Amino acid sequence: MAKNDLIGGSLWEQYSDKVSERMNNPRHFGELTEQDAADLNGKLVVANEGAESCGDTVRLFWIVGNDDEVIKAAKFKSFGCGTAIASTDMMAEMCIGKTVEEATQITNLDVEMALRDNADTAAVPPQKMHCSVMAYEVIKQAAAIYRNVDVATLHDKDIVCECARVSLQMVEDAIRINDLTTVEEITDYTKAGGFCKSCIAPGGHEKREYYLVDILARVRTEMEREKNPEGAQEDDFATLSIVKQIKLIETALDKYVRPALAGDGGGLELDDVRSADDGLIYVHIKYQGSCKGCAGSVAGTLGFVQKSLHGTVSEKIRVVVE
C-alpha cells in the first residue's frame, strides 16, 4: 500500500519508510503460547497496556529463558493506529535477546530512533510521538508481571514529558545549570515539549500533573530569590509609585511570561494596575494572539501569569483579565 493511499498531503511525508513498512507488514505480530515457552525452555509472560487518550491497546507476549532471564521471543497484538502498531513491532524486536532488566531500559525515544530512516529526521510527526509511549509502558507491565511486583515500582518518578520520558528533576536541573529563560530553550536542552506538546501548558492533548510554563516560572523565581535573598519586602511594592509598580510588572512579564506565551503564538498587554483597600494590587491584562478565546487562558494561563508575578514582584498581586 502506498503512502498516499493512507494519508494525503505533507503530513504523511513526515512518516519514515520504516514506519510505513511496519504499519503494513509488522514482523512480530501474533501471539506466543505455553507450548512455545516449553519448547524454548522459558516462561510465558503476557502483558496488556492501553492509552486512555486515544483508545489504543496492545498485548505483549514474551518468552523469558528459565536459566538466564533472556527474552527468547516476543510478539504482540494491537488495536490502534498505524503508528502504535509500528512502534510496538519495533519494540518487540528490540526486546529479543535482551534480559528483562535490559528490556526495561528501552525508552520510547529508543523506539522512535530505531524507526528513523536517517538519524537527523524524526520517524513520525510530533503529534504522534505519544503513540510510542504505549510500547514503553507495556514493557514495564511485562517486567512487573515476570518479577511479580507492582508495576509502580518500575516507573520513573515525576515524569513531566511522557513523549520524551523527561523527569521533573531533569527539567529543573536544565533550567538552573544553563540559565534557561524560555520553554523553547527547555525543549532544546531536554526534548520535553517537542512532540505532542501536552506538557507545555494546560489545554493540550492530555492533562498533565506538571507543565513546563509553571516549572520555568517557579525555578526562575527560586533562582532570583537565591541571587537576592535580601530583596524587597512585600510592603515595599505596595508603597511604590504607580509608575515604578508598572515598570517592575512589565519587566517580569517580558522576562518570564511573554516568551512562554509567544511560543504558541500568544501574548498579553498590561492594561492597568490598581491598588485596593484590602491591600491587594490588581493587575489588569488583555490577551493577544492565540491566547484570545483559548480554553487554557481562563485558568491555566491566568494562573501561570499570576504565579510568575507572585514570585518575581509581589504576593499581593491579583491578575484580572479584561
Q: Is 199 a catalytic residue?
A: no
CB 200 within 8 A of CB 193: yes
Which residues are CB-neighbours of 84 under 8 A, at least 6 positions away?
Answer: 51, 56, 58, 78, 131, 132, 134, 135
Is residue 54 part of the annotated active site? The answer reads yes
The gap from C-alpha 282 to its chain's centroid, in whole angstroms, comes to 33
Length of the chain: 322
- Alpha carbon separation from 163 to 35, 132, 184, 214, 229 (Å, rounded): 36, 8, 16, 19, 37
Instruction: Please tell me which residue in 95, 131, 199, 294 is annotated as part of the active site.
Output: 131
Per-residue burial over 121-132, b if 16 or more Cβ lie within 10 Å, else e, is ebbbbebbbbbb
Q: Work out whether the CA dihedral 85, 91, 95, 96 comes out positive or negative.
A: positive
Residues 50, 79: Cα–Cα separation, whole Å = 9
Catalogue the active-site residues.
54, 131
